[in-house]
A and B are shown apart, each in its own frame.
Chain A
């Protein structure tokens, strides 16, 4: 992967159902363009977020983690 000319990271994005997931939805509906590197995981609330998830994501090989409420 790293010999590609342009490195394309994989980012796990944990998005709150009520906030950022909604924003992602709206961004889609509004046809806003954003980089395709994020893989969205919907969580019921940012309070559901556990450090286990972050470490598990890193262990499975993502290059970055983004948590958004």
Chain B
């Protein structure tokens, strides 16, 4: 990990000092353990702060939106797929983007780690090749990295970047062996009443902070539907209908675009599992229209395309 981080810093310094890009967007070490955050290096000195660890959970594609000038982005599989999405949605030009590609080792879910140490404060996490050494006051434990991966990383099928101008480190295996179809759309087996109950259970702690929306590289609308006031499509309350409206519509807006990067779940302060909704759509899009978002530049998004023989048995 540290070796990769070092190479990212070198690449960033080179790009910035040669004036190839105006900014390098990467990750920097959080002020508390396991909370790496997006970092913008504008000078070679600032590039020293870039890092690469098991906790790079933000999707950096988000920060390219409406950013003038040339930018370099540190991109693992999912981030590169979202970059491709944005290029296909005409948000910026491929020429303005320099992709520093990295194979993703799969990111670790800080909640799963914290759950091992209930009520205790973790003060340091040291990266080892296959393990993490977790330290706090009066305890120290070595844990196996791959047992604590985020659930979306377990079923990822594209860990290498789909586009890159420069590859840091070697390409690695594409997946972790998890099969998305075993976990996607977990409520499909249930009857309607149970599904509704599960939805309520999943969303009951949502505080409508919209961190999930703000972390998502698909959500770049100037005015989001939840902020529209006249007419107000989505009420501002904690009422179950309002909360459900927000989550259903947000998920729907991601249809044919969501790369299952998991940034939304990682950003949520309440630990809401909104991928239970987005994974259903991802699966439908794959099964109905044979499409995986962000895999190739120039692909037409499935929602702005139709075929005469699209399924329509549901229409009378």
Contact = CB atoms under 8 A, between A and B. Distances in A.
Are A and B in direct contact (Cβ within 8 Å)? Answer: yes
Interface of B is mostly: helix
B235 interface: yes
B241 A51 contact: no
A55 interface: yes
A59 interface: yes
B1 interface: no
Contacts of B242: 59
A45 to B, nearest CB: 15
A24 B160 CA distance: 55
A51 B249 contact: yes
Interface in A2-49: none
Nearest to A56: B233
A55 B248 CA distance: 9
A59 B234 CA distance: 9
Interface of A is mostly: helix
Nearest to A69: B315
Given A59-B241, A59-B245, A51 B235 contact: no
A59 B241 CA distance: 6
B225 interface: yes
B252 interface: yes
Contacts of A51: 248-249, 252
Nearest to A60: B241
A52 B225 contact: yes
A56 B225 CA distance: 12
A52 B249 contact: yes
A31 B302 CA distance: 42
Nearest to B315: A69
Contacts of B249: 51-52, 55
Nearest to B248: A55
16 contacts: A51-B248, A51-B249, A51-B252, A52-B225, A52-B233, A55-B233, A55-B234, A55-B248, A55-B249, A56-B233, A56-B245, A58-B241, A59-B235, A59-B241, A59-B242, A59-B245
Interface of B: 225, 231, 233-235, 241-242, 245, 248-249, 252
Please list the 10 inter-chain residue pairs (A to B) with the smallest Cβ-Cβ separation, ordered nearest first.
Answer: A52-B233, A59-B241, A55-B245, A51-B252, A56-B233, A51-B249, A52-B225, A59-B245, A55-B248, A52-B249
